[in-house]
Structure 1
Amino acid sequence: MNNFLDFEKPIADLEGKIRDLEGLDNGSDLEINEDVDKLRQKASQLLKNTYSKLTPWQKTQVARHVDRPKLKDITHRLIEGFTPLSGDRNFAEDHAIVGGLGRFRGQTVMVIGTEKGCDLESRLHHNFGMARPEGYRKTQRLMKLADQFGIPILTFVDTSGAYPGIGAEERGQAEAIARAIQVSLDIRVPVIASIVGEGGSGGAVALATANRVLMLENAIYAVISPEGCAAILWKTRDRAEDAATAMKITAQDLLRLKVIDRIVEEPLGGAQRDITAAIDILGDAIQEELNDLLDREPGTLREERRRKFLAIGRLED
């Protein structure tokens, strides 16, 4: 991984020294080999120490890392025969939300997720993962289709939020998100949501109204970005770090608050360091939750999902 974050600079320096020594080694210099082994141990320990005490703002940076697993990586690794289904049958195709049918470890599923893209061209194509109303109307259509045929739904969330453009607002952005949440609450099939990077605003909730909400340990989930919160509260985005701490946006905070159901561990140094391993760990967690939900009656699934979300934020007597 070459895209190091600011707080990872000491790790980057060590790994740079390792690469330099490896470039000098012809395979027979025992002294160089010993130095490389020592540096690797030191780098591994430093990585472990750094990631064991990340602040909420540092986790925000990790969640936004350009090398985090994308939806394309997840469908390629976990979904066999993935077949995209396009369009909202009303206005247009939205490329920020990708959905379709496939098989997850032998089980037919409907997959719906936000796609940010992996390079400039694909990011522009997918609008940086920020969906327009037609994306959320496509979500409604695919969820209803899955419900009609009794197909479980897997959603994957990685978005800074819904697209805030004038055209999106004119076409009913808020209504489309609200309807998507309503459909999620009404359907009678298992729904498992996984927050793999940013879970931003209503754009995330529209896909995360699920029976089980899983969250990678370095992902974030909030009603607004830390920068947006700081701009509102302190009139400056420079207080984003303070906002991130106050907002309780980390997986650990949200599990304690019962907003999510399960934290999925990432490889040492974050999912961006080993995408394949991270996706496999996530797949195992999804399979465990899906196996449990498949035994539930359709009416029970719907009722449990409704109770779960009505209970969020409720004060106990």
Structure 2
Amino acid sequence: MTSERSRWRFEAIGTQWEIETDEPLDDDHQRQVTTVIEGFDKAWSRFRSDSLVADLARGANSVPLPADATAMLDAYAALSAATSAAVNPLIGEALAARGYDDSYSFTDRGAQPTLAEWQSSVSWHGGRLSVVPPATLDVGALGKGRLVDLIVDLLAEVRGGIVVDASGDLSVRGSRQRVALEHPFDPRRAIGVWEISDAALCASSINRRSWGNGLHHVLDARTGEPVQKVAATWAVASRAMVADGLATALFFDGGPRLARDWGVQWVRMFTDGQVQWSPGCDAELFRGR
């Protein structure tokens, strides 16, 4: 991107965002973006007491079905099946138990395995979302990607190229973008670059949102323990929600198979430094990582 492009930077849902456009977004478009983010957060955030997720955790039998529930939870069903329930939307309480709670205490209270048969407790049909018995939903495996997609769709009428970057989850439309693949153990380095156009690239890494002795945000829902084998993942798809979900699934053995089924390119780096990538992947990976 050239320096002449307009960049709108702001903070939302606990992370930094940047939207690049050929011309500055007008006030109306900025208000629309803010409204979409607020609506999504009000439905899905487990960090705010007034969200629908919080209502369900407190014991509400059901809440009105949020607009994004079907797309996200249907995708979760596929991610869960591919990873033998390691990726699971009821992981919220397991994350809170390890210290990633609504007060950001980062106090580890031990591993808390998540119900593997989560679909017997979660229903998203008939215009209602229910969780019985009460539990804490967490859509972090793909929620940020979904929100990126919503904003890209909202700004479809904006002329020229656009990049929506939500700190690791980005979507590019009408232009090309070279993205460095940050080394998970040294943010000053990259293991490669990936040039994308009219696509989304999402990344996940154990060095982001990490605390304590080896604790980080990528848990195996079956055990409540942080993953140990994979250090970072990257996935490219036409939609950010798909790439985001696959970037999470790639921490587990079933991820590559699901990526093949969904037609998603990927790269992942193991904690021992080895790098693996999908057949036909067009990322440029450096030697001597």
Question: Normalised by the size of structure 2, how large is the TM-score?
Answer: 0.27
Larger Rg: 1
> Normalized per residue, which structure has more strand?
2
- TM (norm. structure 1) is 0.25
